[in-house]
Chains A and B, each alone.
Chain A
Amino acid sequence: GAVVSQHPSWVICKSGTSVKIECRSLDFQATTMFWYRQFPKQSLMLMATSNEGSKATYEQGVEKDKFLINHASLTLSTLTVTSAHPEDSSFYICSARAGGRFGANQPQHFGDGTRLSIL
């Protein structure tokens, strides 16, 4: 089946560091990619949606200068957490789907997540 690969699986770094997370769709062209974050014992919260070649659309309350998203190709999206602080520690999950900008009829496939810990 479709596979979304997310790297790295976990990161521990010092406060003030910028961290880049990669998300790749391995066997399909991901027209649209999504980034979520999840705190312990909570559900996933959508951070932003990106379409290949376009600027990402951020959800309300998500700082676009803090969480930089690049979707340069149909198989790769990156999330960079800039100048990370302890409150940015979370489980970040990417997701991808094929089928055009709307794609209500398309399954969405998820990476295994990146656990980010900022000391």
Chain B
Amino acid sequence: DAKTTQPNSMESNEEEPVHLPCNHSTISGTDYIHWYRQLPSQGPEYVIHGLTSNVNNRMASLAIAEDRKSSTLILHRATLRDAAVYYCILRGDTGGFKTIFGAGTRLFVKA
């Protein structure tokens, strides 16, 4: 399976932007980069995904490096509700099109 590497945890202040990095140096050309987050005691929630170009939606932005070996999830203004575990996942033919979760990054947001 194509692997991703994320920091174990990050901290942010409320109302400030947050940049969550993800390294995926073994990504293949057909792998999509997906981000999900999981709040305590809930199932994961889809955040955003992309292939090559940067993507924006109402929740976040996804910046993908030109060589696709890394990406960054950007939360433009962190709120306390954004405190969660964020998972960066590759989905494509190298992983059997399955969504396999790593350890993710636990984001702490300070008021």
Interface residues of A, Cβ cutoff 8 Å to B:
4, 6, 34, 36, 43-46, 49, 93-95, 101-105, 107-113
Contacts A104-B30, A104-B92, A105-B51 known; A113 to B98 CB distance under 8 Å? no
- B contact set with A: CB distance below 8 Å: 30-32, 34, 36, 38, 41-46, 49, 51, 85, 87, 91-93, 97-104
Residue of A nearest to B92 (CB): A104
Cα A34 to Cα B89 in complex, Å, equals 15
- Nearest 10 CB-CB pairs, A to B? A110-B43, A44-B101, A107-B46, A43-B101, A102-B97, A104-B92, A93-B43, A110-B44, A104-B32, A113-B43
Roughly how many angstroms separate A4 CA and B43 CA in the complex, as a whole number? 10
Residues in A with CB closer than 8 Å to B38 are: 44
Q: Known contacts being A43-B103, A46-B98, A95-B99, is A102 close to B93, with CB within 8 Å?
A: yes
A16 to chain B minimum Cβ distance, whole angstroms, is 27
Smallest Cβ distance from B46 to chain A, in angstroms?
A: 4
Contact status B100-A46, CB under 8 Å: yes
Q: Which residue of B lies closest to A107 (CB)?
A: B46
Additional pairs, 13, CB under 8 Å, beyond known A6-B43, A108-B46 = A43-B87, A46-B101, A49-B98, A93-B43, A101-B97, A104-B31, A104-B91, A104-B93, A105-B49, A105-B51, A107-B34, A108-B36, A113-B42
Rounded to whole Å, the gap between the CB of B19 and the closest CB of chain A is 22
A34-B43 in contact given A104-B30, A108-B36 (Cβ < 8 Å): no
In the complex formed, the residue of B with least CB distance to A103 is B97
B51: chain A residues at CB < 8 Å are: 105
Residues on the B chain within 8 Å of A36, using CB: 101
With a cutoff of 8 Å between Cβ atoms, the chain B residues found around residue A95 in the complex are 43-44, 99
Looking at B41, B46, B87, B100, the one whose CB has the most chain A CB atoms below 10 A away is: B46
Q: Nearest Cβ distance between residue B15 and chain A, in whole angstroms?
A: 25
Residues of B within 8 Å of A44, CB to CB, are: 38, 44, 101
Shortest Cβ distance from B99 into A: residue: A108
